[in-house]
C-alpha cells in the first residue's frame, strides 16, 4: 500500500470559539489529484490556509512525507514542500518573469558584485523548460496573459521542490484552450509524483482532472469519493443537501409574450458585426462563445456603454438608441456585468448603500432619502434573495462571492425591469449560491421578463436557456434549441465548425 504523501489527522480550526473546520481526517497519495468542493463558507479556504501556513490548527496533526509538521508561517510551509497558487495570483507586476521566478532566492552575481543578469535569465529559462513552459523571461509580468502568469506562479512554486501543490479556483480567468494547457501541466506533475489539491466550483473540471473528490459542508468533511464512482447529482446533494434537478429549475410554463428586445444587423467595428436577434417576454435566450467572441461587448452596447456603428435596436416595440446606462435603466433594461468587483460593486460600501443605489422609490419629492423606507427595502432584499450577512451595514467586500453576486442582482432586479442582461452571473460562486441565482432567473422569465443570459458554463447555459445563440469571432454562428442543444454542438459552433465537421464523441 502506498504511503500517504499528506495525512491530516483530527484537524480542526475555530475562530473566536466558532468552528470553521470540525475535526476530520484525510489522506493524499503521491501523484494523486484530489478535488476539494463545497459551498462558500464550507471550510475550503480555511483548510487551504492551514496547509499554507497562514493559520495554525487548534487540534490535530499535519503529516507530510512522513514528518509531523506545524507551520508557523507561509515560508515554513513552502520550505516543507507545500506550494499554494491562490485564486488572486501573487506576483510583482513590474518585474520580469525571471525576477519573479527567483524572488526570495540568492541571485547569481557578476565578477564586480552586481547581478549577473545573463545567468539569472538562463536559470529562469531552465526552470520554465523543466515544466514544459515556453515564455520570454525578459517580459514583465503585467505583459502576460492570466494563463501565462499562472504558469510562472506554478513554475516558481515547484522549482522549490514542492511535493504538494494546492490550486484555488485556477481556471476562473482562463479561456478553454488555456484550461487545456493547465491540465496538461497538471498531468505531467502527477506523473512526477507531485500530489495536487484542486479547489473549484466547476464540477466538469473536477470530474475531468481528479482521482478523488472530498466534499466539505459547514466545516465538516461530509464525504470522499473515487471520481469514477460518483455522479454530479451525488456531489451536489453532498454539498448543498438538495438534488441536482433543483440547480437548473424550470418552473415557468413556456408561454412566450411579445418581443421585448430586437436587434437588426447591429455592428461595432472590431467587436461584433451583423448581429440580429430577438428576446420575447418570458424567454431566456442564452449566448455562448469562446473568450473574445464578442458576447460581453454586445451586451455593453445594448446597455448603452458604447454606441454601435450601424444596425438598429428596438425595446418594447420602440426604437432603442441608449445614450448611456441611465437611459437603459429608465427604459426598463438592466445589465449585470461580468466582473462584479470591478464593474458592479464598490467593495467599501455597506450592503445598504450598495443595494439602495438601484432603488427608485426611496427618495421623497424634495430628493431626500427616506431612511425608514430604505431600510425596509434593503431588509426585504436580504430576505428575498437569501443574502447571508450580519446586517445591512456589513461592508459588501466582506461577503462571499455568491452573496456579493446576489446583492448585485437584487440591486437592479428590485427596479422591476422588463429586460435583463446577465453576463456570467454565476462565475466564481458556489453551487448553493448558483442554484439560488438560477431560481431567480427562472422566476424572472416566469414573471414575463425577457432575459439575455451570457455564460461560459455550458451545463448551466443549456439547463437554463430556452434556446442558445452561439457567437464566434463577433458574429452569431448558429442558434441551437431542442435536441440540437448539446454541449458538443455548442463547442463546435463556438469554434467555427458545424456538427458534421467533427465526429460526435457521445457527450
Which one has a higher pLDDT value, 85 or 386? 85
pLDDT of residue 399: 76
Separation of alpha carbons 297 and 271, rounded Å: 6
Is there a single domain that holds both residue 268 and residue 161?
A: no
Q: If you average pLDDT over every residue of the chain, what do you get? A: 84
**Is residue 386 a part of any domain in this protein?**
no
**Is residue 27 a part of any domain in this protein?**
yes
pLDDT of residue 339: 66
H or E stretch including 43? none
SS3 at position 280: strand
pLDDT tens figures, 167-225:
998 887 777 787 888 898 899 889 989 999 999 888 889 999 999 999 998 889 999 99
pLDDT at 380 over 80: no
- Asked which of 21-30, 86-95, 225-234, 435-444 is least confident by mean pLDDT, the reply is 86-95
Contact 388, 433 (CB under 8 A): no
Contact 438, 469 (CB under 8 A): no
pLDDT of residue 48: 93
Is there a single domain that holds both residue 195 and residue 287?
A: no
pLDDT of residue 245: 58
Q: What is the mean pLDDT of residues 359-388?
A: 66
Separation of alpha carbons 24 and 138, rounded Å: 46
pLDDT at 243 over 80: no
**Is residue 505 a part of any domain in this protein?**
no
pLDDT of residue 265: 96
Which one has a higher pLDDT value, 284 or 406? 284
Residue among 80, 66, 58, 76 nearest 6 (CA): 66
Number of domains in the chain: 2
Which one has a higher pLDDT value, 242 or 458? 458
What CATH number does the domain containing 237 carry? 3.40.50.300
pLDDT of residue 224: 95
Task: List, in sequence order, every residue forming a beta bridge with 478; answer none if it has no partner.
Answer: 470
Is there a single domain that holds both residue 144 and residue 35?
A: yes
Residue whose entry in the numeric block shows the C-alpha cell 428576446: 279
CA atoms within 13 A of residue 151's CA, in its CB half-sphere: 30
Instruction: Give the structural domain span for 291.
Output: 259-345+415-494
Which one has a higher pLDDT value, 456 or 418? 418
**Is residue 87 a part of any domain in this protein?**
yes
| Of the residues 215, 243, 271, the one at which a domain ends | 243
Query: Cα Rg for the chain, rounded, in angstroms?
Result: 25
Residue among 459, 458, 428, 440 nearest 40 (CA): 428
pTM over 0.85: no
pLDDT at 505 over 50: no
Amino acid at each position: 500500500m502506498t504511503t500517504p504523501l499528506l495525512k491530516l489527522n483530527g484537524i480542526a480550526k475555530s475562530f473566536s470559539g466558532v468552528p470553521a473546520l470540525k475535526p476530520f481526517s484525510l489522506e493524499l497519495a503521491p501523484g494523486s489529484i484530489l478535488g476539494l468542493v463545497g459551498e462558500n463558507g464550507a471550510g475550503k479556504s480555511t483548510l487551504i490556509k492551514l496547509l499554507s501556513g497562514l493559520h495554525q490548527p487548534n487540534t490535530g496533526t499535519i503529516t507530510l512525507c512522513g514528518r509531523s509538521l506545524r507551520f508557523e508561517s507561509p515560508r515554513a510551509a513552502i520550505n516543507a514542500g507545500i506550494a499554494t497558487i491562490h485564486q488572486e495570483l501573487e506576483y510583482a507586476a513590474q518585474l520580469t518573469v525571471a525576477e519573479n521566478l527567483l524572488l526570495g532566492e540568492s541571485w547569481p552575481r557578476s565578477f564586480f558584485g552586481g547581478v549577473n543578469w545573463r545567468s539569472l535569465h538562463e536559470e529562469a529559462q531552465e526552470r520554465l523548460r523543466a515544466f514544459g513552459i515556453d515564455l520570454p523571461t525578459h517580459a514583465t509580468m503585467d505583459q502576460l496573459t492570466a494563463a501565462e502568469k499562472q504558469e510562472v506562479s506554478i513554475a516558481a512554486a515547484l522549482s522549490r521542490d514542492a511535493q504538494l501543490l494546492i490550486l484555488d479556483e485556477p481556471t476562473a480567468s482562463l479561456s478553454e484552450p488555456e484550461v487545456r494547457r493547465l491540465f496538461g501541466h497538471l498531468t505531467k506533475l502527477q506523473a512526477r509524483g507531485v500530489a495536487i489539491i484542486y479547489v473549484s466550483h466547476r464540477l466538469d473540471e473536477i470530474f475531468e482532472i481528479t482521482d478523488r473528490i472530498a466534499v466539505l459542508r459547514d466545516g465538516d468533511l461530509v464525504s470522499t469519493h473515487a471520481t469514477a464512482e460518483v455522479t454530479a447529482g451525488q456531489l451536489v446533494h453532498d454539498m448543498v443537501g438538495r438534488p441536482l434537478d433543483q440547480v437548473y429549475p424550470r418552473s415557468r410554463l413556456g408561454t412566450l409574450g411579445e418581443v421585448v428586445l430586437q436587434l437588426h444587423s447591429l455592428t461595432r467595428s472590431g467587436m461584433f458585426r451583423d448581429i440580429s436577434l430577438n428576446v420575447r417576454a418570458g424567454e431566456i435566450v442564452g449566448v455562448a462563445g469562446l473568450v473574445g467572441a464578442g458576447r460581453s461587448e454586445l451586451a455593453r452596447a445594448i446597455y448603452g456603454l458604447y454606441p454601435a456603428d450601424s444596425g438598429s435596436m428596438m425595446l418594447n416595440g420602440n426604437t432603442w438608441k441608449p445614450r448611456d446606462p441611465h437611459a437603459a435603466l429608465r427604459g426598463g433594461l438592466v445589465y449585470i456585468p461580468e466582473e462584479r468587483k470591478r464593474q458592479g460593486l464598490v467593495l467599501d460600501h455597506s450592503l445598504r448603500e450598495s443595494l439602495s443605489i438601484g432603488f427608485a422609490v426611496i427618495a421623497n419629492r424634495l430628493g431626500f432619502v427616506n431612511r425608514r423606507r430604505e431600510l425596509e427595502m434593503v431588509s426585504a432584499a436580504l430576505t428575498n434573495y437569501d443574502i447571508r450577512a450580519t446586517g445591512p451595514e456589513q461592508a459588501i467586500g466582506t461577503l462571499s462571492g455568491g452573496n456579493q453576486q446576489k446583492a448585485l442582482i437584487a440591486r437592479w432586479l428590485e427596479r422591476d425591469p422588463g429586460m435583463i442582461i446577465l453576463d456570467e452571473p454565476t462565475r466564481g460562486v458556489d453551487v448553493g449560491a448558483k442554484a439560488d441565482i438560477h431560481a431567480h432567473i427562472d422566476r424572472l422569465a416566469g414573471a414575463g421578463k425577457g432575459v439575455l443570459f451570457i455564460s461560459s458554463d455550458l451545463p448551466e447555459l443549456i439547463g437554463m436557456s430556452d434556446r442558445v445563440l452561439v457567437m464566434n469571432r463577433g458574429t452569431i454562428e448558429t442558434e441551437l434549441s431542442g435536441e440540437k442543444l448539446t454541449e458538443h454542438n455548442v463547442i463546435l459552433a463556438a469554434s467555427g465548425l458545424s456538427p458534421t465537421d467533427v465526429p460526435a464523441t457521445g457527450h
